[in-house]
Chains A and B, each alone.
Chain A
Amino acid sequence: MAKALKEKVLSLKMLSHSVFRMSIESEYISSTALPGQFVNIKCGDGINNILRRPISICGVDRQKGTFDIAFQVRGKGTRLLSEYSGEDLIDLTGPLGNSFSLPHTLIPQKHSKVAAVGGGIGIFPLLFLLKEMNNAEKHAYLGFRDCRSMVMVEDFREVTDKLLISTDDGSAGYKGAVTDLFEQHIKTWDKPDIIYACGPVPMLRKIVSIAQAHDIMCQVSMEQRMGCGIGACLVCVCATRQDDGWKYSRVCKDGPVFWGQDVIFEE
């Protein structure tokens, strides 16, 4: 169950020219959050900058009672968030949304092979997910714009058996889209049992089509401009299949994690 909390910021680290990682003290979030969930943060005064900003959880430390978020400064809200410092109190609601299904809940009694595919700032919830998985062979594929945008690579290396990087300009790793890197790789590696993906819509659309072509289970985490974050205002929707038709599902409450085949990606 989500709660409204005022928690203490422990640290704020700049990971690249625009990406920050924040550690926050919270017994409640650290003990209840599941991979894929997010917190909705009041970044400004709530009057001039009204809306909260939904930010995914990228890790929890249950012993210390802390959790981490990572975000990119893209507008007013995230800029205000990047101006917080240690000891500040932060007003947030969470943990919100559903979560990724862990491999052992999908394929019991099997040492499963898992592929996590992330693009840009979509990589953050995947870090939490990979860390929470035991008894799985974990491969991660991370796509960045260029080598200057690469963040959290060492964190991912620690929680994966294999890590592959792509950049749009080839300044690090494979040159090209992470979806192409992934597609090439699964032809040489035994195909994974499950794919988890988070990133821009064109990337997710491609990943889902690869998953369907190879008959692999696939979960995607969706992003949308959000209002309340708790499922009441019906603002952050995405189109999903239903029986023989379709409907708009709430990204904040029915998602953010959906089965790939259920999402109808807009052209």
Chain B
Amino acid sequence: MAQVSLATNIAGIKLKNPVIAASGTFGFGREFAEFIDLNKLGGISVKGLKLRPTRGNKPPRIAETPAGILNSVGLQNPGIEAFIKDELPFLRQYDTAIIANIAGDTVEEYCEMARMLDDTEIDAIELNVSCPNVKSGGAAFGSSPGAVSEITSRVKACCSHPLIVKLTPNVTDIAEIAMAAEASGADAISLINTVLGMAIDIHKRKPVLGNIVGGLSGPAIKPVAVRMVYEVSKSVRIPVIGMGGIFSGEDAVEFMLAGASAVMVGTANLVNPFACLEVIKGIEEYMEMYNYRHVNEIIGKLDTA
């Protein structure tokens, strides 16, 4: 059987395969390096970074819901300086794309972080304008085309790395937001961040999460995510990175047929440290089954006739 090729290049980011560990589920790779060879991953999007160290939200920060989880971590992170100094050198030992996910309280903070990352050896910046768990910043920037447009063009002007804009699903028209990002210089779009949700302990009559509300992820949101990736892929010409409840190669192929050039695996990492590797293997098996030679042959090949 002919060897299948999973290597791809999106927005100038070289990926040995289209599977990237999603931000917030993979830390800075250290914990997973005990279980898997990080060289085998297409890329790693690191834990969301802020300008300064951030404590995050009050626990409990997680609740299990049917085929999903709600989380309200609230961007606990060591700050961008500590990332550059302590975490990036570790990650750079591996031959995998490193994506810095950044979140600011103001547009200026996003720009400052982008400038700080400019002469570092990251492969791309992922602009987090979609975290549902912080009051300022995050999703506040990602919910209107005007705000996404402003932040994208301002950050693009101060960094030379490829810029991925990560979108929130908690909007009425996601295609409109994606088009605004594209028109303002985004090199790629990633979606979806978590779906805003809530769970209640009826015996205590209290919210399960310390933050009251949180972000829903996992298989429960996959159909929502596939639909949004489909809508966005039809509306923009820049590459789309799809995510939302990918647990298997078949799940990843769904996103790719819907138009995603690459995928991110998130919640699955929390259950299975080998999740990303299993998704890569599953994509390969699908390609072999249908005699595809190159992974690009399946992207956007959805037949809606």
B34 touches A2 (CB 8 A): yes
Q: In the complex, which residues 116-133 of chain A have their Cβ closer than 8 Å to any Cβ of chain B?
A: none
- Cβ–Cβ contact A226 & B62, under 8 A: yes
Complex interface: chain B residues within 8 A of A194 (CB)? none
Contact, CB under 8 Å: B71 / A227: yes
Assuming the contacts A224-B59, A248-B56, asked whether A49 and B35 have C-beta atoms less than 8 A apart, the reply is no
A-B contact count (CB 8 A): 104
Nearest-CB distance from A241 to chain B (Å)?
13
The answer to whether A42 and B55 have CB atoms under 8 Å apart is no
Contact A51/B270 with A225-B59, A233-B73, A234-B76 known, Cβ cut-off 8 Å: yes
Question: Which residues from B are CB-within-8-Å of A2?
Answer: 34-35
Asked if B68 is at the interface (CB within 8 A of a chain A CB), the reply is yes
Inter-subunit contact A48/B69 (CB<8 Å): no
CB-CB contacts below 8 Å: A8-67 with B:
42, 46-52
> Do B269 and A228 have beta carbons less than 8 Å apart?
yes
A220-239 interface bits toward B, Cβ cutoff 8 Å, 1 = contact, 0 = none: 00001111101111111110
State which residues 209-257 of A face B: CB under 8 Å.
224-228, 230-238, 247-248, 253
Taken together as a complex, chains A and B put the C-alpha atoms of A3 and B56 apart, in Å, by 29
Given contacts A237-B56, A253-B31, A48 and B62 within 8 Å (CB-CB): no
Q: How large is the interface on A (under 10, 10 to 19, 20 to 34, 35 or more residues)?
A: 20 to 34
Residues of B contacting A248 in the complex (Cβ-Cβ under 8 angstroms): 55-56, 59, 76
Known: A233-B270, A235-B62. A228 touches B68 (CB 8 A): no
Measured between beta carbons, the chain A residues less than 8 angstroms from B34 are 1-2, 230
Q: Is A107 engaged at the interface, CB distance under 8 Å to the other chain?
A: no
Query: In whole angstroms, what is the CA distance A95 to B271 when docked?
Result: 16
Q: For the complex, is A93 an interface residue (Cβ under 8 Å from B)?
A: yes
Decide yes or no: A225 and B271 within 8 Å by CB, A232-B25, A233-B27 being known contacts.
no
* Chain A: CB-nearest residue to B248: A47
Mostly, the B contact residues are loop
Q: Judge whether B26 and A235 touch: CB under 8 Å.
A: no
Closest chain-B Cβ to A244's Cβ sits at a distance in Å of 15
A4→B270 CA distance, assembly (Å): 12
A168 to B64, CA, bound (A): 31
Residues of B within 8 A of A224 (CB): 59-60
Whether the pair B269, A232 counts as a contact (CB closer than 8 A) is yes
Please report the C-alpha to C-alpha distance between residue A93 and residue B275 in the assembled complex, in whole angstroms. 14
Q: Which of B61, B68, B247 has the most CB of A within 10 A?
A: B61
Are A228 and B31 closer than 8 Å at their CB atoms? yes
Known contacts A51-B270, A52-B271, A225-B59: does B64 contact A232 (CB below 8 Å)?
Answer: no
| Residues B47 and A50 in contact, CB atoms below 8 Å apart | no
Q: Return chain A residues, CB-CB under 8 Å to B55.
A: 247-248
Give the residue of A77, A225, A232, A266 whose beta carbon is less than 8 angstroms from that of B62.
A225
Please measure, in the bound complex, the distance between the C-alpha atom of A224 and the C-alpha atom of B30, giving whole angstroms: 22
Which of A50, A234, A236 has a CB less than 8 Å from the CB of B218? A50
Question: Nearest residue in A to B72 (C-beta to C-beta)?
Answer: A235
- Taking CB as reference atom, which chain A residue is nearest B247? A47
Name the residue among A50, A77, A247 with the largest chain B CB count within 10 angstroms: A50
Residues of B within 8 A of A50 (CB): 64, 67-69, 218-219, 267, 270-271
Query: Which of B35, B219, B271 has the most chain A CB atoms closer than 10 A to its own CB?
Result: B271
In the complex, what residues of B have CB within 8 A of residue A235's CB?
59, 61-62, 71, 73
- Which residue from B35, B59, B76, B272 sits with its C-beta under 8 Å from A46? B272
- Whether A237 and B59, one on each chain, are in contact in the complex, defined by CB atoms closer than 8 angstroms, is yes
- Which of B59, B63, B68, B273 lies in contact with A93, CB distance below 8 A? B273
Query: In whole Å, how far is B215's beta carbon from the nearest beta carbon of chain A?
Result: 12
B-binding residues in A (CB < 8 A)? 1-4, 42, 46-52, 76-77, 93, 224-228, 230-238, 247-248, 253, 266
18 residue pairs A–B, Cβ–Cβ below 8 Å:
A4-B35, A46-B272, A50-B67, A50-B270, A51-B62, A76-B64, A228-B31, A228-B271, A230-B32, A231-B27, A232-B26, A232-B32, A232-B269, A233-B71, A233-B270, A234-B56, A236-B61, A237-B59
Q: A50-B218, A224-B60, A231-B31 are in contact. List 5 more A-B contacts (CB 8 A).
A: A2-B34, A4-B274, A93-B273, A233-B25, A233-B62
